[in-house]
Amino acid sequence: MSDENKRPIDREKYRRTARNFTDKNQSAEDAENQFEFTRSREAQREFETDDTVSQNDSISNSDEEVSDNRNVSGSNNKRSGAGSGGGGFKSIILPIISGIVGALIVLGLYLLFTSGDDDGSEETGTDEETASEVDSSQDLSEVKQQLEEENTDKVITDTTAAVQKAKPAVVSVINMQRIQSIIPGMTEGSDEAEEAGSGSGVIYKTDGDISYVVTNHHVVDGAEEIKINLESGDSVDAELVGTDIWTDLAVLSIPSDVVETTIEFGESSNLLVGEPAIAIGSPLGEIFSGSVSQGIISGLDRSVPVDLDGNGSNDWEASVLQTDAAINPGNSGGALIDSNGRLIGINSMKVGIASVEGIGFAIPVDEVKEVTSQLEENGEVIRPFLGITLQDLLNVASSPVYDQLQLPEDVKGGVIVSGVQENSPAAAAGLQELDVITHLDGEPINNMVELRQHLYYAKESGEEMTIDFFRNGEQQSVTVTLE
C-alpha cells in the first residue's frame, strides 16, 4: 500500500476505545468477584487482591503494584508522544519550561498572601480537628451546622446529620468460640477461639472506666470470648454483664477510654406509624460495618411468635416494632434510630421468606431501657417465679392424654401442667401434674405464651395470683404467692 493511501491514525479515538473496553471488562469481573465475596471470606480476599485494576485506578494492594501502574502510565505517555507526528525537541522542552515558570509564580503568590499568618493557620487546624468529633448529646441542628461547616460543597440533610450523630456509637460484636464448641462432637481442636458469628451492638452508657454495650442475646449466645470492633477501627475485648433470652437482649462492658460517644435514648411509646426509621449495623459481617438503611415505622406493638428451644412450639411472643428499613444478617443488635439520631429500637429479626420483602423487627427502646437496667444491676432480669413446666392443651387434643383430662366440651384452650418443682409457689398451692390452667386472675389463658405474658408483665415477685384450673374434669381455684 502506498503512503498516499495510508489513513492517519486517530490515536485519541484509539485510546478512548481501549479504555472503554478495559472498563467494561473490569466492571464485569468486579461484579463477579463481589458476588463471590458476599458468600465467603476466601472470596473476600480474592476480591481484594484482584490484579485486574485498570490503569486509571488509584487503589493498589502493594508497593509493587503501585510501581507497576506508574511504569504502565509512563510507557503510555511515551507512546503518545512518539505518535504525535514528531514535534521534536521543542515539543518536549517548551511544556517543561512553561510548567516550571507557572509553579514559581504560584509559589510566590502563596508566600506573599500567607506570610505572617502562621499562627492563624495552626489555630484553624485545631478547630477543624475538634469540629470533626460529633457528640451524641448535641442537638441535631448543632450537628447539622457542624457538618455544613466541614463540608461547604455538599448539601447536609437532617438524615445525614442524624446518622453522623448516632453512627459512632454503633459497633460490631464478634462471637468467639473454640472449634469444639462450633462443631459438636469434635474432640480435638485449636485452643484459640475463632469467630463463630457476628452481629452489631450499641454503646449506650459510660460509668467511670466502664462503658456498656447492648446487643441481642442470640448474637452472643454460646460465646467463650467476645470482641467489639469500634467505628474507629479499634478492637477490644468485652465482658458479658448479663443476658435475657425472653427479650433477646444482652449487655456487654468495655473500657471507657476507647469510647468516643454514646447514643442518645429516644422513646418508643410516642412513635407513630409512618415516622422515618434508620437502621445502622454490620450486615454480612465486619466488612460492611456502619452500613445505613432507611425506611419508616411500619407497625407498632407487633406480636411475633418465637420458638426459643427449637422444638417447633412457640415459647414466647416478642412485642416489637415493625420497619421496612433493610435488616440483614449481622444487623442484629444494631441501632434503629429516629430522624433526630436517637435510639428507638434494637434491631432483632426479619421475615426471611423469599416471597416477603421489607418486614423487619426491632425491640422497642422503652423495653430496652428497662431490661438493660436490670442486667447491669443483677446480671439477669428478675421475674416472678411460679415453678411449673407447661404444655399447650391444643398440642395434645388428638392424643390419649387428652382423654385422661376429662375436660368439659366447652373448654377449648388452656395450659397443661406437665411438672411441678419441689418447694415452689405452685407446689405450696397444691398444683399437680395434668392440672389444666384456664384463667389467671380471672383472665382467660389459652396457651403458654399468654400465661408467661401475664406472669412476667402483670405480676411481680411477692404478689398473689389466683389460678383457675381443671383437675379430673372438675374446676378448682387456688391462690399462690409468687417468688
Q: Under DSSP, is residue 237 helix (H, G, I), strand (E, B) or coil?
A: strand
Residues forming beta bridges with residue 480, ordered by sequence position: 465
List the one residue out of 330, 177, 168 whose CA is nearest residue 258. Answer: 168
Between CA 175 and CA 154 the distance in angstroms is: 39
Q: Which residues contact 69 (CB under 8 A, 6 or more apart)?
A: 53, 55, 57, 60
Phi and psi at 115, nearest 5°, equal -65, 135
Q: Check if the beta carbon of residue 443 is closer than 8 Å to that of residue 455.
A: no
Q: Under DSSP, is residue 361 helix (H, G, I), strand (E, B) or coil?
A: strand
Which of the residues are catalytic? 218, 248, 332
Q: Check if the beta carbon of residue 334 is closer than 8 Å to that of residue 347.
A: yes
Residue the block writes with cell 521534536: 88
How many alpha carbons lie under 13 Å from residue 170 in its C-beta half-sphere?
Answer: 34
In this structure, what C-alpha cell is assigned to residue 461? 415477685
List the one residue out of 349, 362, 379, 131 whose CA is nearest residue 250. Answer: 379
Q: Which residues contact 195 (CB under 8 A, 6 or more apart)?
A: 174, 175, 176
Strands 225-229 and 170-177: antiparallel
In this structure, what C-alpha cell is assigned to residue 51? 490484579
Q: Which residues contact 92 (CB under 8 A, 6 or more apart)?
A: 81
